[in-house]
Amino acid sequence: MTDNRRRKITDLLVNFIVKDVRPISTLSGEGFKDIIQYFEPGYTIPCHRTVWSNIMHQYNTVRATIMDEMKDLSVSLTTDLWTSCTMDPYITITAHYITDSWELKSRVLRTTVMRERHTAANIAQRLRETIEEWGLNVFCTIHDNASSMNLAMELCELFPHHLGCTRHTLQLAIKKGLNLPEITKTIDAAGRVVSHFRHSSVAHCALQNYQKQLGVQVNSLQNDCATRWNSTFTMLERLYEQRIPVQAVLTDESITKVDVRKSLTIREHQWELIEQLILVLRPLAKATTIMCAELHVGLSFIYPVLLNVCDMLRVTGSDLGAIRSFKDMVRKELVKRFKLESDILADSIPITACLLDPRFKHLKFLPENIRADALAHLTQLVGEDEEQPATTGKRKQGPYTLMLTTISPLERLQIMPPEVLALICA
């Protein structure tokens, strides 16, 4: 075996460990050794120390490449605190930027254990450390709506703007509606039925049999998750789709005991409420999906999508009382949390992004007076960009001037994701 081939195999093993997030001990497994021995008898798997040394070398190489790529670019950050399944607290910080060739990229810069208290001061310190370590020019940081996060952004002072996560804000608004008494009671009833079928193998098998007999698509019922409101929509949608075979199982005395059937009864008016609730939640679920996307820039979608959603939430004559209350509550929360009727709406970053996006630049979704204010604000920002000299003594183009002057509208025009187009034009 040549040295080049040996190095190539070692590099591939390192990539296998890194890309698939495998423990290094995987390479020491007897079965893995047998595979390598069969395909390349002359190759000896390197020891733990050698593999770790190669991983660190690869890390340093990739890190240097990323630092060079982000140098002098305007970067936005997203950050979040989360807990692993072993209850270890972590903070993750991700950089998002557009390269000189107009390619959108995201890089996770830090995922580290954060054992200290999650105070605003400690979060701000972690942000400062990351920004200074990577030498970033940060334009904006996106975070959740926790009070400690909001204060941390103010304490950091290394970037001019910060925004609450749109998806998280949307979830808070929708949760307000889902927590209305009659809505909650119906969702709880649906959750009990779903839980029964997911925990009883007899009921699960019986459901599959009835699905085949009744010609209904064989789909499993879905649980909801407290931290993801759209899982509630998925649960209700699937349950309503399967309501006939579900009721057939529950009314079959050879499968479901009488006392169990009584505790799992969903009344007719609740089925009607579920049917109407699904129709109301569907565009909200689409909006949530749009705001979670990573393959396209979503900042300019925020207000066109939200204002269209607010129009969809207008009460109609056929709405049940609970649906009317839900629509009113969610619409009121969206207006309040996203400041849709605020005097400073025209100065917000998402509205500026709309002006710089050829798809929304005419701001047809806003009143005439706000359009004029937004355009005046952008003109002011461009003027400030042009007044800022670069450190080299040459004139430096700021982010707004750069967007307006470096590429043509045709080059800026991207294909709008289908789900966005469907929601905006609905």
pLDDT, one tens digit per residue, over 92-131 is 999 999 888 888 899 999 999 999 999 999 999 999 999 9
Confidence tier at 245 by pLDDT (50, 70, 90): very high
- Average confidence score pLDDT of the chain: 87
Per-residue pLDDT of 270-290, as tens digits, reads 999 999 999 999 999 988 888
pLDDT in tens, 198-216: 999 999 999 999 999 999 9
Question: Cα separation of 335 and 349, whole Å?
Answer: 17
- pLDDT 10s digits, 161-197: 999 988 889 999 999 999 999 999 999 999 999 999 9
Helix (DSSP H) and strand (DSSP E) numbers for the chain: 19, 5
CB atoms within 10 A of CB 13: 21
DSSP 8-state secondary structure symbol assigned to residue 75: E
DSSP state of 47: P
Q: What is the mean pLDDT of residues 145-173?
A: 91
Confidence of residue 300 (pLDDT cuts 50, 70, 90): confident
Q: Which pLDDT does position 289 carry in this prediction?
A: 83
Per-residue pLDDT for 411 more than 50?
no
How high is the pLDDT of residue 291?
79
The pLDDT of residue 309: 92
Please count the CA atoms within 13 angstroms of the CA of 426 that sit on its side-chain side. 22
Least confident of 159-163, 190-194, 301-305, 382-386: 382-386
Question: Do residues 175 and 229 lie in contact, with contact meaning Cβ atoms separated by under 8 Å?
Answer: yes
pLDDT at 177: 95
pLDDT surpassing 60 at residue 251: yes
Q: Please list the alpha-helical segments (H only) found in 258-320.
A: 258-263, 268-292, 302-312
If pLDDT is split at 50, 70 and 90, which confidence band does 85 have?
Answer: confident
Per-residue pLDDT band for 295 (boundaries 50, 70, 90) equals: low
pLDDT above 80: residue 362: yes
CA torsion, ordered 126, 77, 405, 415, to nearest 10 deg: 170
Q: In sequence order, which residues have a C-beta less than 8 Å from that of residue 12 and are 6 or more positions away?
A: none
Question: Please, what's the b/e burial string for 229-266 (b: 16 or more CB within 10 A of its CB; e: otherwise)?
Answer: bbebbbbbbbbeebbebbbbbbeeeebbeeeebeebeb
What confidence score (pLDDT) does residue 407 get? 42
Of the listed ranges 35-39, 117-121, 374-378, the least confidently predicted one is 374-378
